[in-house]
Structure 1
Amino acid sequence: MTSKELSADLRTALDGVLEKAADRGEWDVLRAHAEMRFAAGEPAKEGKAAGPGTKTRFGMIGDSPAMRALYDLLAKVAPSSVPVLIQGETGTGKELVAKALHANSPRAKKRLLAENCAAVPENLLESELFGHKKGAFTGAVEDRAGHFVAADGGTVFLDEIGDMPLTMQSKLLRVLQDGEVRPVGSNVSKKVDVRVVAATHKDLPQAVKAGTFREDLLFRLNVITLYLPPLREREGDIRMLAQGLLPGICAEVGREATLTEGALEALEAWSWPGNVRELENELRRAVALSDGTIRAVDLSPRLTAAV
């Protein structure tokens, strides 16, 4: 529909909104809201996933009460810029939540950069996050912008924040307090505007008591906490996830496959300590080993024993 096809009353209302935005100098705010509402906000709409009977929202599959509660909180939190702490067991999909927060925010047009704090050695983590100057250390052959500078205006996702070394925690705290980063080997700080989303499978209050996590950093990160439930708490979602994930896994493996009712019942009977990641790997195994029809006997012995 073009502007000429708009009804007269709608054009009048729209003109009034635009005039008020101009008078108040709120063009940028209005534009950001429109982009968030009609572009980045699309993943938040309920729809059908690739598999039969699967519902998606925020790019995630599931319609259990626990997931609906998460979706409702995501819808409220995403448009803001406050720090968010995502808590959940390994394999639950915490990075998907971080991506949803970014995609449904006014920052969606800027970059989302992620770092696993448990996977990078401490001496390199500072450089990855804050950048470095040429010659700052062996191998630093040129200046490099870290994630906080490269994602300026966007989002930085710090996965497994509970495994960040204490010395790095203090440096991160300074960045969150001052809104400035100083590259390794430099004495000049740079202002940055970054939303920080952190995730962990650890009990951070307990880590504070144990002396392995700074309490002041926890207060900075824990403005809003999103809890991502494990599969065992997502009643009805295992079947939906299996059917929704299967088409993509089939394309990845290069084979077509379908799930029988017996296979679905076996999947639902398992406790899934590895959560969605374990379910994905189980489906990959089944697709590779089956003749195109995945039956309960095609699943791992530990699953069939639970039926």
Structure 2
Amino acid sequence: MNSEHEVLIIGGGPAGLSAALALGRMSRNALLCDDSRPRNAASSHLNNFPTRDGIHPAEWRNLARKDLEKYNTIRFFEGSVLSVVRSGSGFLAKVSSGESFIIKKIILAYGVVDKSLPIQGFQELWGKSIFHCPYCHGFEVRGSKIALLGNGEMLFHMLPLIYDLATDLVVLTNGKAEIKEEQKDLLKRKNIRLIEEKILSFAHEGEKLKSVTFENGEELEREAIYALPSFPFKLKSQIGEELGCEKDQFGFYKVAERGKTTIEGVFACGDNSSPAHSVLLAAASGGMAGAGVVHELLNEKLFA
């Protein structure tokens, strides 16, 4: 049994690395567990991050890890956290190496799993010509033929962000449109074609989307697609739920300021606790969660 770590960080992406930086700066002992499943693994570039706009995601993570090397209170574990249970005033965590640790605080920094549509070509194009975020990928496809793929009310939350990017915009509902008549009228007024046919496949050459083929045999030339997420989001781990952390209707952990969840001693940050998904915002969230944990640890030490 190992009890040298005050904090367990589950997830080694932008949120977890930023949380570790905050903890390292305040000389807190933390174990960061990373099972190497980054959400942006399919992307060749990371954008909208000052000083690192356009960097490869793997390079960004390597630089972030390098920044942590000087903080000897931060340790990395390459593997999974199997379980975390309450143990006295803290927690008992078991990891995939077989080791167990007594931990005072937990930071849930694992992200979400993007659900792949069961359409030929979707998975191959994900992060390359099929995207989820115009802030992350919009600039590169501006002025092209774009489709917005999704259905229901959420279409009209994304539509304004996509509308100004495209020279030719089409909405694909992959089946009967579940939208209001006035919303259909809006699409007509703005010359946005609505296609309700089921999609058969996405034709592509390498990473470049060429066209969409529908089950009725029709084809539509497109250069990029924005796909709406399906709710609730699926998280990469069930540790939070097993600890009793409450979630909202979208599948995100309910958190207060500085990432505190509904369970004492457990914090959450990054894509698992907010619908605003980007590397920059995940990193900011991680920094806040790290600061929240530091605040609790030092208050407990001083006023014990």
TM-score normalized by structure 1?
0.26
TM-score normalized by structure 2?
0.26
- Higher-Rg member (1/2): 1
User: Which structure: greater helix fraction?
Assistant: 1
User: Which structure: greater strand fraction?
Assistant: 2
